[in-house]
Amino acid sequence: MSADTPVLNSASSDTPVQNSVSSDTPVLNSVSADTPLLDALTARGRAFLGSRHAIMAGAMSWVSERHLVSAISNAGGFGVIACGAMTPTLLEAEIAATQALTDRPFGVNLITMHPMLMDLIGVCRAAGVSHVVLAGGIPPGQAVAAITGFAKLIAFAPNYALARKLLRSGTDALVIEGSEAGGHIGPVSLAVLAQEILPALPDAVIFAAGGIGRGAAVAALVEMGASGVQLGTRFAASAQSIAHPNFKKAFVRAAARDAVASVQFDPRLPVIPVRALKNAGTEAFMEKQREVSLRLAAGEVALADAQLEIEHYWAGALRRAVIDGDVDNGSLMAGQSVGMVTAEEPVQAVIDGLVGEAEAALARRGS
Ligand SMILES: Cc1cc2nc3c(=O)[nH]c(=O)nc-3n(C[C@H](O)[C@H](O)[C@H](O)COP(=O)(O)O)c2cc1C
């Protein structure tokens, strides 16, 4: 896992969830208009999630906490708590707080390399969590068996072969996330993943993610066979997101081209690609890689130590941007969809806009 991973490496003893939104955050009820064409194409996804719309909000470390998650589920979407580096006790509290804010279904995203993964799964089971998303690598068999005993399991499929393998080994639904997405990314775009995977697995429940900003894209993807979609960036900048105002302002200002994938300078010093808005921190990271690479070449540092220096570079960086508002040096993880964030909108408006646009697109072509 790279050091810019917002989860384990950034672990601090304090709670990763800030209650900067007051407890009187309005509970929004879905007021979405009729969307019969979209509903027909997303019937399987909606039944799977148990939500009005098959729109998942991808878990975002530091961002996807009780307020945002409950607001999304209350607005007819499907919120997902980002467990990240939380301890089992913190996760238990976060789930309970979310349940207090919504009676609609929501999920919990767990990172497979969390050292207490099985304990976190136990917390989800005890709390009656209905959907668990496993991220950060191929789900271990023990975790799959434990989760499918009480909840629906969703996992990320980076290619067709793994998609088939995951489904065969008990995963109930897949997310195919293209490289347009914010955060840790794979190498292939959603446009290509969708073509490769959706027609080949017509009976699977698959959610498409990465770079989705408008309902026209939602319409196209469900027409191609996706059961629904997952968005992150648009929700990170929404009114109910607890992200610092500086973080949201940076999203509103940014264009798609500003959300760039981190670049590896030296093959001996691996960097897992992360898509984030470019800032002073991303510039300094390149310089850091160059400097460590030179020291490595000069024999001034051992390979393992050099790799650790690179890995630890971004430790705590997402928190610095999201919570502290340090948009110069923190990690502003964002998808290319950031260009379609034009204001800090309420979650309900984001969801209603997406489904309204999707329905209109489908109606225009008589789907
Ligand atoms: C700020 C930020 C943090 C993220 N953190 C996580 C995470 O902790 N776990 C995860 O599985 N995905 C994470 N993601 C990915 C999102 O869940 C989602 O799949 C992605 O944002 C979709 O692409 P989009 O941003 O273009 O909509 C993160 C994305 C962003 C923008």
Q: What residues contact residue 278 under an 8 Å CB cut-off, 6+ apart?
A: 258, 260
Model pLDDT for residues 298-325, shown as the tens digit of each residue? 999 999 999 999 988 888 999 999 999 9
Residue 249 within any structural domain of the chain = no
Mean pLDDT value of segment 332-361: 98
Ligand 1 centre distance from Cα of residue 209 (Å): 9
Is residue 312 one of the residues assigned to a domain?
yes
Gap from CA of 299 to ligand 1 centroid (Å): 38
Cα separation values, 83 from 64, 90, 91, 288, Å: 9, 9, 6, 30
Based on the structure, what is the number of domains in the chain?
Answer: 2
Are 224 and 287 found together in one domain? no
Please give all residues whose beta carbon lies within 6 A of any atom in ligand 1, as ranges.
Answer: 6-7, 58-61, 63, 82, 84, 109, 135, 177, 180-183, 209-212, 230-233, 236, 333-335, 337
Q: Does residue 134 sit within a domain?
A: yes
Same domain membership, residue 280 and residue 220: no
3-state helix, strand, coil in the chain (%, to 5): 40, 15, 45
Q: Has residue 10 been placed in a domain? A: no
Q: Which pLDDT value is given to residue 33?
A: 66
Mean pLDDT (whole number) for 271-294: 95
Q: Report yes or no on whether pTM surpasses 0.75.
A: yes
Question: Are 316 and 181 part of one and the same domain?
Answer: no
User: 200 and 54 in one domain?
Assistant: yes
CA of 183 to the centre of ligand 1 (A): 5
Ligand 1: residue of 1, 81, 233 to mutate (most ligand atoms within 8 A of CB) is 233
Asked whether residue 6 is assigned to any structural domain, the reply reads: no
Q: Which residues pair with 205 in a beta bridge?
A: 173
Are residue 354 and residue 297 in the same domain, yes or no? no
Domain annotation covers residue 15: no
> Does any domain span residue 248?
no
Q: Position 153: which residue type?
A: L
Do 333 and 348 lie in one domain? The reply is: no
126/222 same-domain check: yes
101 and 233 inside one domain: yes
Looking at the structure, tell me whether residues 188 and 275 fall in a common domain.
no
Using pLDDT thresholds of 50, 70 and 90, give the confidence band for residue 11.
very low
Same domain membership, residue 279 and residue 229: no
260 pLDDT higher than 50: yes
Q: In this predicted model, which residue has the larger pLDDT, 137 or 269? A: 269
Position 5 scores a pLDDT of 35
Residue 332: which domain range? Answer: 254-339
Q: Ligand 1 centre from 231 Cα, in Å?
A: 8
The mean of the pLDDT values for the chain is: 91
Closest ligand 1 atom to Cα of 243: 1
Pocket test for ligand 1, best of 5, 61, 177, 244 (most atoms within 8 A of CB): 61
Do 225 and 347 lie in one domain? The reply is yes
Q: Which residue, 65, 43, 2, is CA-closest to 236?
A: 65
- Say whether both 94 and 239 belong to one domain: yes
Instruction: Give domain status of residue 13, yes or no.
Output: no
Q: How far apart are CA 251 and CA 341, in angstroms?
A: 6
- Give the Å distance between the CA of 23 and the centre of ligand 1: 25
CB contact at 8 A, 269 and 289: yes
Residue pair 111/83 in contact (Cβ under 8 Å)? The answer is yes
Q: What is the CATH number of the domain that holds 47?
A: 3.20.20.70
Q: What's the pLDDT score for residue 86?
A: 96
Q: Whose CA is nearest to atom 10 of ligand 1?
A: 59
Q: How much is the pLDDT for 31?
A: 45
- According to DSSP, the β-strands at 205-209 and 183-184 are unpaired
Ligand 1 centroid vs 289 CA: distance in angstroms? 25
Q: What is the mean pLDDT of residues 38-67?
A: 98
The closest of 190, 208, 189 to 45, measured between CA atoms, is 208
